[in-house]
Chain A
Amino acid sequence: MINIAIIILGIVMIFSAIYAFRTKKIINSIIASGAISLIVSVIFIILSAPDVAMTEASIGSGLTTIVFLFALGKARSKIDSKGGKDD
């Protein structure tokens, strides 16, 4: 039962990873990589490692995603204001 759950979560993870690099929109890939971390933390809980799961959920799917979003917003505002030029 546990093995089946882990295998299903693993397959979802692989597909979201493929989606993350196949998709055209950057924001979709950021969300997909956050989802991967979330699934990893669920797997850590199943494997009875709650402390690792806590770290993974908050750093992997929380802080990393937000830092990526900040970077994306910054890049976007630069492109909008300066016509794609980077200084």
Chain B
Amino acid sequence: MIRTVLIYATLILMVIIFFPLLSEIKPLSQLNPLAKRYVEDSTKNLNSPNIVTSIVVTYRGLDTLGEVTVLFLATTGIGFLIKRRKKNGEKGAFQASEILQTGSLFLFPIIILFGTYIFLHGHLTPGGGFQGGVLIASASVLLIMANVNIKLNHTVLHFIESLSGFLYVIIGTIGLFLLGSFLDPKFLPLGKFGSLFSAGAIPIIYSLIGLKVGAELTNIVDSLRAEGMEDEK
């Protein structure tokens, strides 16, 4: 009883703490100088209609590289902590119904296609590498959950992950050598504004991030599943 009262009292206190922040929000009447520079520079110099992408990949590219590294370390940690054995005991596992299995096999390529669309069009439409990669991972999760007997090739996943991470850094270094700043995508032709092959190396970088994120998250979920299987035997 007293525990419940304390929990609700804490919630109300948090509301009291955060309410001034909410009430003091004023809608911006104009962009601040940094945002203004980003908005003007991204359409003029980078040829990318999606300003969020040009900020994430170019101006804050090092942060994105850091995020990808964090994700990579998380995957590595999970791979170390969860021991994977050769034999997975699928015998005791619950089998999904025929409708679910067929439906998931039908939906899997469509979701993969949608994820690929999102990361290839990252510089044109909302979304990008992370979103596309996560969509690909959720497609694999659907496949894994519905078809218990399916086995993913972890060597291929690790290879995709490492290769795309490596190429991402290589592209950043090419920018450093040719144009003098790390992760500068302007060493490729900028193309026509709004077309698929435009905005320099941004589509390539975002595709690599998408592949990397997709492979990593699929790997994490599949490791967890393999661990769960082991114990059900």
Binding site for B on A (CB under 8 A): 21, 50-51, 54-55, 58-59, 62-63, 66-67, 70-71, 73-74, 77-78, 81
Contact = CB atoms under 8 A, between A and B. Distances in A.
Interface string B125-145: 011101100110110010001
Contact of A59 (B134, B145, B225): B134
25 contacts: A21-B7, A51-B126, A51-B127, A51-B131, A54-B126, A54-B131, A54-B135, A55-B134, A58-B131, A58-B134, A58-B137, A58-B138, A62-B138, A63-B134, A63-B221, A66-B145, A70-B225, A70-B227, A73-B228, A74-B227, A74-B228, A74-B231, A77-B228, A77-B231, A77-B232
A67 B127 contact: no
A70 B156 CA distance: 23
Nearest to A54: B131
Contacts of A55: 130-131, 134
B141 A63 contact: yes
Contacts of A66: 141, 145, 221
Interface residues of B, number: 23
B57 interface: no
Interface string B200-230: 0000000000000000010011001101100
Contacts of A54: 118, 126-127, 131, 134-135
Contacts of A67: 220-221, 224
Contacts of B131: 51, 54-55, 58
A51 B231 contact: no
Interface residue SS majority, chain A: helix
Contacts of A62: 134, 138, 141
Contacts of A71: 224
Interface in B112-129: 118, 126-128
Given A55-B134, A58-B135, A78 B231 contact: yes
Nearest to A78: B231
Contact of A51 (B52, B220, B225, B228): B52
Contact of A70 (B52, B127, B228): B228
A52 B11 CA distance: 26
B114 to A, nearest CB: 10
Nearest to A73: B228
Contacts of B126: 50-51, 54
A67 B135 CA distance: 16
Contacts of B128: 51
B83 to A, nearest CB: 13
Contacts of A73: 228
Given A51-B128, A55-B130, A77-B231, 7 more contacts: A51-B131, A59-B134, A70-B224, A70-B225, A74-B231, A77-B228, A81-B231
Contacts of A81: 231
A8 B128 CA distance: 30
A67 B99 CA distance: 24
Contacts of B232: 77
